[in-house]
Amino acid sequence: MTRRRIALPVIAVSAAAVLGITGFTAATAAAPDPARDSSSAEKTPPTADAPTEAEVQALFDDWNASLATGDPAQVAEHYADDAVLLPTVSPGIHDTPAERLEYFEGFLLNEPQGEITESVVRDLGDGYVSHSGLYTFTMGASGDVVPARFTFVYAEDDGEWQIVEHHSSKEPVKG
């Protein structure tokens, strides 16, 4: 799969134009779709059982423990090859193994250790789960404490859960 970074222009289109182009009408909206009717269509089972909240927390704990090793390669192993990382303290999108490894080479010099203070786990279905919330990083090298927000999206691949999306941003200061 080829990935591209693109910026999309915003186009204003009226609802009537969209409906006219697509042929969507009140009559088509009301018509039953046999492919979506659960009584007539066989459902495809998800590719993996959803992990429990404790299992998702353990995924974070494993990732956090890999930070403590100081080895960027160990941290990078938690990410799928095509994962997207939007880190707290670095600009840009890190969506290749080389970009993530380079990021963690610098980040680990801070000797970071994270602690989740509040989080929510959601089963997204079909072998995906999200884990979002607040965490605090203590930087062992400087003693700095960085409160941040996070979202991890994990995907199951051959029985292993890997990070496919990771977004982290400094928590805004209450004003």
Per-residue model confidence as pLDDT tens digits over 51-87? 999 999 999 999 999 999 999 999 999 999 999 999 9
Q: Where are the domains of the chain?
A: 53-170
CB 167 within 8 A of CB 151: yes
Between the CA of residue 40 and those of 31, 47, 162, what are the distances in Å?
15, 22, 35
The sign of the CA dihedral 64, 113, 130, 162 is negative
CB 95 within 8 A of CB 79: no
Q: 71: which 2 tokens?
A: 């080895």
The answer to whether residue 166 scores a pLDDT higher than 60 is: yes
Per-residue model confidence as pLDDT tens digits over 2-21? 444 444 343 343 333 333 43
Does CATH number 3.40.640.10 belong to domain 53-170? no
